[in-house]
Structure 1
């Protein structure tokens, strides 16, 4: 990974996301004063954030939990995935798209990317399907929607379940439909630096009531389960739940709801700011900016990346990062990288993995560096720009960054 270069130019950065409006801050303050920092039941703050996501997704069942990772665990559990089941997972994604499967004993099968956006497609998924494949996890990487129409058609042909990981893609759409409204289940992170953020939180949205209630039993205790679980064969379990304690805080729910109510405006501002930033690279040979596919729109823009082709540009990704940093741009290598290069997928054996016998470990967790070459090549050419400063109007900041990018490109090109 490229080490930061000493900056010779200082650019004043605005407040980094998440930023919350005064109404949300006042509501959180009142919760703290009243001691409402936790909720075992299904109080108004939890109902609010779940209702906002359910409405956004056309009436899906929404369940709020403490992280996107917990939401993915609940999704895979509710869909019945376990030992002997293969789940197709992009190599280019955050680890949490795959890691909850470790707790269930299901086998993640990593899939290559298909093009400049880094997402999987029906073709790259088809290459990895076997008779043991039960489900597909699709990441809308950095906010780029995956081609859901063709992926859903593939899933129907093979009888596969589909989980959408929308953690980067709040407000992204495919043919006018929001991401998260296509698969059997969808997961949104609403924590950290995400466009919709409560600091810590996640949302699971499901098509079927049964999946919703199973996820509730896994993630909550008696109080919430008795309020939510109604199916005759599941209701008897509501007095104990299924052992999880993955509840969201009312404080996180209020903060995320404040963002969610502004989603359309946040997406509009982020799209405008990202477009203006990326236009600074326009016309430079060897620098590619990945535009959304026809019929797709970008929402969350969790990471803003450009791709450097060293043969055409005359310099490589690391050289451009160094020059950008010298001119005050907080550029870096993207934190989201190919999973097939990480420890557990290249032979590491966690001592607690008793669910996986040795033949399974050899088959599914022994990738070589040259496997899944498109994902690896993309990551090795990507430069990440700090999109977490672009969620609000920031004309002066953008002007400074655009000027700095121009200087950095000129320096890198001149040194080639």
Structure 2
């Protein structure tokens, strides 16, 4: 099979010249670290707060660290259970290992792959101490019903918004519904400093505990004002999870352009989706009324082979042959990962009691059927190439998608004719 080559521009993150000069100035002046709370970090936190209904914002070195700080600030202890989506990136669950807490996986409740109040409720036990939800690929969870459930059972909620910069639910940005929210601002995210994360907190106390965990005394003595916590500011709580000034500057440059970036991505990805869903049996992630996609961390479509006449693997192969960087989404169900399937090395390292390992770390492939079946149907397009206003890659991709689908239709028609 010959493969068509489509020239691709630089993959996100992309920075303009003025920002790279600003970073170079920081390096030249030796300001590659910040123990205190310098202008670069204050600016990032203030702008993040302003975009999210003035929640308390704390910049850290990764989204994983933001989640760790969120769980720690809630007082999650060894043996506590936290309800976690089965369909999410592993970092939604893995910080709980460091606290000796138990991630209790919950099946998807929507075709988006997100959890619902019903799937969370089904995994509730007397040991449940918190809920975390992931706005998967940037698609908001049904936060109204989830928050009603959380209030009913008196549990705090953490939103993992790492895929969802600029996504909204009923006109409000994701990250303002739960008690805490974690954003990744690293890697390929729409707002990226290369490495970084943001923790948003409703309550000042959670913000200050997270500061004690993630910073040394210089920042803590500036930020921590609670009389019951301030006495710890001279030592802190043992973490060193600070963001760098360079990362803060880079991420701020994207944050300032967030509405523009969200609109460009919506316009570009929508055109790709329109080309794909023109074929019966190919559908997009369901966006019900009141939800908007922002980050589009993955641009995902689902294939129903009974309707489409071809499989997910057929579509991936056909798209790749036309030069499209299509693949299976890397973010997949956690229950098929080694640590959740009874891996003996993981069991020895994590040191959970045998009863806990047997109940929550020995899943089989069929234990979360909807999460598995959804992931088995999904095809991901490289959304990180579609953040530009011009959409330079859109038309080549649309033509490639049309060629791939046309070839699959011909092949399907030929198979049917042969059977007859």
Check if 1:308 corresponds to 2:286.
no
Check if 1:360 corresponds to 2:378.
no
Instruction: Encode CA deviations 1:384-405: one digit per residue, 9 max, x unaligned.
Output: 0000000012444211100110
Counterpart in the other structure of 2:417? none
Which segment drifts farther, 59-68 or 345-354?
Answer: 345-354
> TM-score scaled by structure 1?
0.97
Counterpart in the other structure of 1:347? 342
Check if 1:207 corresponds to 2:225.
no
Counterpart in the other structure of 1:331? 326
8 Å CA contact retained: 1:61, 1:209: yes
Counterpart in the other structure of 2:94? 99
Check if 1:375 corresponds to 2:366.
no
- 2-structure distance, mates of 1:411, 1:217: 58
- 2-structure distance, mates of 1:395, 1:212: 39
Counterpart in the other structure of 2:58? 63
- 1-structure distance, mates of 2:68, 2:232: 19
Counterpart in the other structure of 2:250? 255
- 2-structure distance, mates of 1:185, 1:202: 13
Instruction: Encode CA deviations 1:242-277: one digit per residue, 9 max, x unaligned.
Output: 111100010000000000011111101111111011
- How far 1:115 moved relative to its partner? 2.2
The number of equivalent residue pairs is: 410
Counterpart in the other structure of 1:116? 111
Counterpart in the other structure of 1:399? 395
Change over 3 Å in CA distance of 1:372–1:333 after alignment to 2: same
- How far 1:157 moved relative to its partner? 0.1
- 2:302 match: secondary structure: strand
- 2-structure distance, mates of 1:396, 1:129: 48
- How far 1:7 moved relative to its partner? 5.4
Match of 1:293 among 279, 283, 288: 288
User: Cα RMSD between the aligned structures?
Assistant: 1.0
5+ residue gaps, structure 1, are 1-5
- 2:349 match: secondary structure: coil
Change over 3 Å in CA distance of 1:7–1:20 after alignment to 2: farther
Counterpart in the other structure of 1:277? 272
Match of 1:384 among 365, 376, 380: 380
Instruction: Encode CA deviations 1:103-160: one digit per residue, 9 max, x unaligned.
Output: 0011111011122211111111111111111111000000000010110000000001
- 2-structure distance, mates of 1:326, 1:260: 36
Check if 1:147 corresponds to 2:139.
no
Which segment drifts farther, 84-93 or 189-198?
Answer: 84-93
Match of 2:240 among 236, 240, 245: 245
- 2:325 match: secondary structure: coil
- 2-structure distance, mates of 1:231, 1:370: 48
- How far 1:280 moved relative to its partner? 0.6
- How far 1:233 moved relative to its partner? 1.2
8 Å CA contact retained: 1:7, 1:325: no
- 2-structure distance, mates of 1:266, 1:292: 19
Check if 1:165 corresponds to 2:160.
yes
- 1-structure distance, mates of 2:53, 2:389: 30
Instruction: Encode CA deviations 1:360-386: one digit per residue, 9 max, x unaligned.
Output: 111111111111101000111100000
- 2:350 match: secondary structure: coil
- How far 1:352 moved relative to its partner? 2.5
Which segment drifts farther, 44-53 or 280-289?
Answer: 280-289
- 1:410 match: secondary structure: helix
Which segment drifts farther, 286-295 or 208-217?
Answer: 286-295
